[in-house]
Structure 1
Amino acid sequence: MTQEMKAATILNTTFVRPAKFYINGFSNIPNIKYFYVFLCFVYIMTVVGNVFLLSVIYLVKTLHTPKYMIVFNLAFIDLCGSTALIPKVLDTFLFDRNEIVYEACLSYMFFVWFFAGLQSWTLVTMAYDRFIAICFPLRYHSIVTKPVIAAVMLLAWVLLLAVIGCMAGLIDRLSFCASLVIQSFFCDHGPVFRLACNDTSVNYIIAYIILTAIVFVPPILIVLTYVCIAIALSRIASGVERLKAFKTCTSHLILVAIFFLPLVGTNVAVMTSYIHPNARIINSTLTHTVTSLLNPIIYSLKTEEVLTSIRKLYKNIRLRNRLKNRCGPFITHVLTK
């Protein structure tokens, strides 16, 4: 038996599971600490903005509609997704803690991709809501009901839980006998499984399935939805009515553009040409973080229903505080009832 055959036999029979990985993103970038400070600011504002939006939707009963069930779901996903990613990124790079335990790396990978997938398909659900509202306005309240939206969102959670769980679980079958340095800003799936030294063909397949399901299929469905919406709007005689109907879609279109354009652009550039690793990492970081910050701002400032609800909620709080100060605990007890 030759030396090469002996080495191949040892490689095939020895399974190596590392104790730790080393995350090595943001290398050789000048003044990168300012970017970490920016991410810290983004995370704080993301938490404040999404908690505020969740609170407004929960407290104002007029917002307890199927449309705002989707918005509530998106705000919750943004909050969880940012919490899964940004604090660990800051801990890794700002405080130079590049080591991550193997099991923690798989959990990190799962949660980042899981919430990114949920965000993607929640935007598809929003497009479905706008499609029914504009193309079938008379049947909207019978088609888009709370049970239907709850079932759609639950289906997305369950399917993505299964698929992303399978993706992370398949890493566990790999043997890592060479480099343990992950060239990304988190335990990303691609950079991790490419470090393995045994067969990774199944991992390549699941990677393309997830990339297609999260990055490419949702924007295609959204574009098709808006083509149908455009056709329906073209049949409306009045230009004022067309503009009024289109305005109900602007918040959603802004969210779609912010989320999908950099995500699709980066992945297409990686697959078709060369993009500098630092440019890819920074672009991916901003896509995963800034979108969650802008979602509540867009829905607070661009949606008249939310703005009106915020004003009413503010007036009610002020009125309650005035009555509490003037009339004492009795009025407060009555108001709380």
Structure 2
Amino acid sequence: MSAVNDTKYNSAVFLLTGIPGQEDVHLWISIPFCLMYVISIVGNSVILFIIKIDSRLHEPMYIFLSMLAVTDLGISISTMPTILGIYLFNSREISFEACFAQLFFIHSLQFIESSVLLLMAFDRFIAICNPLRYASILTLPRIANIGLVFVLRGVAVIFPLPFLLKRFQYCQDNVLSHSYCLHQEVMKMACSDITVNSIYGLFITLLTVGLDSLFIFLSYVMILKTVLSIASQAECLRALNTCVSHLCAVLLFYTPEIGLSVLHRFGKGSSPLLQIILLGYIYMLIPPLMNPIVYSVKSKHLRARIIRAFCGGLDHRNPLGAAN
């Protein structure tokens, strides 16, 4: 259902889009999406469960990992109703209010995840460049305060967006190119001048994701400088190996996000399939899917406790067995 001319936001809907031209096989396409959501939710929940019940994992690196798992769960839950609704029930309509709420949660959680990745980079920086002060710098109260500040930052910068969008009248076709709502797309459906929204959206992206990615890059420059000064090649490789999981998470998060943002603003002639499949779904589905897998594989301590919990059985006196 399309909004007619001068229809206000509270009396119309947006139409979400699946994979164009594949409507006949949407039910089959839903199978891999369902599997990805199940793996994402179960994987991140398992990591949270293991970290919560094992006090030996209550240290900065794993606390940051639990923050990452929470944001990944939030992103999965935010996008799951509309994506699965399209492929399972052919339900394309979404009210303006629901769309604004979804984009608020998606963008705020994305900004929070960017902050968590920055904290994890800072954790690796301190552990490698200043290991003697690691415990005194990254105390639990300090971690909690920094985490709260970044959560408030992510929510505060996105909070005005739904209100900025509500002031518009929508008289376009209101057909979005994704299976979920994004601010960059919704504002283009308005009949009004969107200059303020466009400038504000670019500003907060640079303020959050832009600054976070810059500080992550600088952290790894310092880490690489410190590691290269280590005389032993074995120690050098061991130090770098502790960063592999985080580097994978950074690449999985920033690469599709930057690509999608560039396409929305400058790629008017780009293929819709490139936006929808290669970047749109990768942007939302792959990081929550891959992060728990990467960290479970690369962290021997976490992997050992997961194996003991689900393969070796739980011991009431020592639930996850002795530490390595």
TM-score range with shorter-chain normalisation? 0.7 to 0.9
Supply the distance in 2 between the matched residues of 1:122 and 1:317 (Cα, whole angstroms): 32
What is the CA-CA distance between 1:179 and the residue it aligns to?
A: 2.7
- Cα drift, residue 228 of structure 1: 0.5
The one-letter code sitting in structure 1 at the alignment partner of 2:20 is S
Residue in 2 that maps onto 1:325: none
Asked if residue 42 in structure 1 is aligned to residue 50 in structure 2, the reply is: no
Alpha-carbon distance in 2 for matches of 1:120, 1:292: 13
> What residue number does 2:235 align with?
241
1:287 is matched by which residue type in structure 2?
A: Y
Q: Paired residue for 2:8? A: 16
Q: Deviations for 1:240-292, whole angstroms, at most 9, x for unmatched residues? A: 11111111111111111122222223433554554212211112212211210
Tell me which of 279, 298, 303 is aligned to 2:299: 303
1:294 maps onto 2:286 in alignment:
no
Q: Against the structure 1 CA distance between its residues 258 and 200, is the aligned structure 2 distance closer, same or farther, given a 3 Å change threshold?
A: same
Query: Which aligned pairs between 1:76-87 and structure 2 lie closer than 5 A?
Result: 76-87=70-81
Distance (Å, rounded) in 2 between the aligned partners of 1:15 and 1:38: 37
Match of 2:188 among 188, 194, 207: 194
SS at match of 2:189: coil
Q: Provide the identity percentage.
A: 33
Equivalences, count = 309
Give the superposition deviation at 1:316: 7.4
What residue identity is the alignment partner of 2:245? S
Report the equivalent of 1:223.
217
Query: Hey, what's the Cα distance between the residues in 1 that align with 2:292 and 2:29?
Result: 22
Question: Measured at CA, do residues 275 and 286 of structure 1 come closer, stay the same or move farther in structure 2, by a change above 3 Å?
Answer: same
| Aligned with 1:129 (options 109, 123, 130) | 123
Over 3 Å counting, the alpha-carbon distance change for 1:55 and 1:97 in structure 2 is: same
Alignment of 1:252-267 (within 5 A): 252-267=246-261
TM-score by length of structure 2 reads: 0.88
SS in 1 for 2:181: coil
Matched, 1:277 2:272: yes
Q: Could you tell me how far apart the structure 1 residues matched to 2:172 and 2:255 are? A: 35
In structure 1, the partner of 2:320 is none
Q: Equivalent residue for 1:209?
A: 203
**SS in structure 2 at match of 1:194:** helix
1:178–1:243 Cα change, 3 Å: closer
Q: Which runs of 5+ in 2 are unaligned?
A: 318-324
Structure 1 284/306 Cα, relative in aligned 2: closer, same or farther at 3 Å?
same
> Structure 1 unaligned runs (5+)?
1-10, 322-337
Query: Are 2:24 and 1:28 aligned?
Result: no
CA contact (8 A) 1:60 1:313 kept: no
296-305 or 33-42, which deviates more: 33-42
Counterpart code for 1:194: K
Instruction: Report the counterpart of residue 133 of structure 2 in structure 1.
Output: 139
For 2:311 and 2:85, the matched residues in 1 are separated by 41
Conserved? CA contact 1:215–1:264, under 8 Å: no
1:158 aligns with 2:174: no
Q: Which amino acid aligns with 1:16?
A: K
1:172 matched to which residue of 2?
166
Whether the 8 Å contact between 1:25 and 1:278 is mirrored in structure 2 is no
Are the structure 2 counterparts of residues 314 and 108 from structure 1 closer, same or farther at C-alpha, using a change threshold of 3 Å? closer
Q: Deviations over 1:8-59 (max 9, x none)?
A: xxx9xx7822432222342224755543321111001111111111110001
Would the aligned equivalents of 2:82 and 2:179 in 1 still touch at CA under 8 Å? no
Change (3 A) 1:265 1:19: closer
Shift in CA distance, 142/221, structure 1 to aligned 2, threshold 3 Å: same
- Residue 327 of structure 1 corresponds to none
**CA RMSD, Structure 1 to Structure 2 (Å):** 2.2
Q: What residue identity is the alignment partner of 1:22?
A: L
Aligned equivalents of 1:15, 1:155: Cα separation in 2: 39
